[in-house]
Structure 1
Amino acid sequence: MPGAAGRPTLAERLEMLFDEIRPQEPTGRRYTHDEVAAELRRVQPGLRVSGAYLSALRNGSKRNPSLDLLTALAQFFGVSASYFLDPTPQDQAEEEIALAKVGHHPQVRNLALRALELSPESLAVVTQIVERVLTDIRHGPPSAGQETVNRDTSQPDS
């Protein structure tokens, strides 16, 4: 249940990260508490954290982690530290997770980086292609008799 004014609690924010950010593909297995704690200690040897403590934060029985731990968790999951520190509403937290998922998925990250090189016109074409593929996935490809090309009808045929 969200905290004050629809803002997610620390436990809810952690739950979203563990649920959405995966070690391999977006639908792969979740990180374990012990796995995350071990990596945090490896990157920041002075940090005192265990899998059990992360579990307690995630289920809400512990609520006041150190700033160092929150910063380390943010770096691990690929979100900004403000994800934990700013009282952002639920939709903003979800947007931050969506961006972090891009960073954790090598093919999507590569596509996004390549898209930065495109002109606005080329980016619009690629966006249309992606939208068309997503539509086909959701609803199936058009039938053989359906028109598949959008025509500009503002100008008369020659």
Structure 2
Amino acid sequence: MAEESGEVRVPGVLADRLDRLFDRIRKPDGSAYSLREVADAITAQGESISHTYIGQLRTGKKRDPNLSHLRALARFFGVPVEYFTSDRLAADVDKELDLAAALQQVRARTVALRKSVIPEAQSAIDALTELLGVIRELEQGKPDADDGA
């Protein structure tokens, strides 16, 4: 996160949403993408962007990116470009990101359980029980449809 690098975060919708993508969308090994990795991947796809600029968007120092940069960031993270502009769509995507992150954690725990001395049947039951608990928590945290988001 920006605070860890010594940079000061300036609150902003774009910065918060971009930071959330960096937090939730992970590499296959579960580690976070660096600013440089994202910039390099986007540039390789034909949209020139620097890791410094992405960092400034993420911390809120820059607040008005051009549409081509938003499209490239959205494409990299696998979200619609409207994620950055629509509160309702962002809320829906955030719920999906939360569920995906919870599923990834459950998968990691399931692998760890399988390697332990617990029989596989019990580990599967435990993993499913944990998954159901996470889904219940996410459902309880859901805003009402009438909230106007």
TM-score range, shorter chain: 0.5 to 0.7
- Residue 129 (structure 2) pairs with residue 135 (structure 1): yes
Contact 2:42 2:76 (C-alpha < 8 Å) held by counterparts: yes
Aligned residue in 2 for 1:40: 42
Contact 2:14 2:63 (C-alpha < 8 Å) held by counterparts: yes
Alpha-carbon distance, 1:133 to partner: 4.0
Alpha-carbon distance, 1:16 to partner: 0.6
- Residue 21 (structure 2) pairs with residue 17 (structure 1): yes
Task: Give 5+ residue unaligned stretches, structure 1.
Answer: 109-129, 140-158
Q: Relative to 1, partners in 2 of residues 1:29 and 1:85: Cα closer, same or farther, differing over 3 Å?
A: same
Aligned residue in 1 for 2:73: 73
> Higher Cα Rg: structure 1 or 2?
1
Alpha-carbon distance, 1:97 to partner: 2.9
- Measured against aligned partners, the alpha-carbon deviations of 1:76-125 in whole angstroms (never above 9, x if no partner) come to 111111111223376324125358x59xx8xx9xxxxxxxxxxxxxxxxx
C-alpha separation between the residues in 2 aligned to 1:40 and 1:12?
A: 20
Alpha-carbon distance, 1:136 to partner: 5.9
Greater share of helix residues, 1 or 2?
2
Q: How many residues align?
A: 104
- Measured against aligned partners, the alpha-carbon deviations of 1:40-86 in whole angstroms (never above 9, x if no partner) come to 01112xx2310010000000010011101111111111111111122
Matched residue SS, 1:58: helix
Aligned residue in 2 for 1:82: 82
Residue identity matched to 1:11: A
Residue identity matched to 1:87: D
Contact 2:19 2:58 (C-alpha < 8 Å) held by counterparts: yes
Q: Percent identity?
A: 36
Residue identity matched to 1:78: G
Task: Give 5+ residue unaligned stretches, structure 2.
Answer: 1-8, 108-123, 134-149
Aligned residue in 2 for 1:29: 31
Residue identity matched to 2:20: M
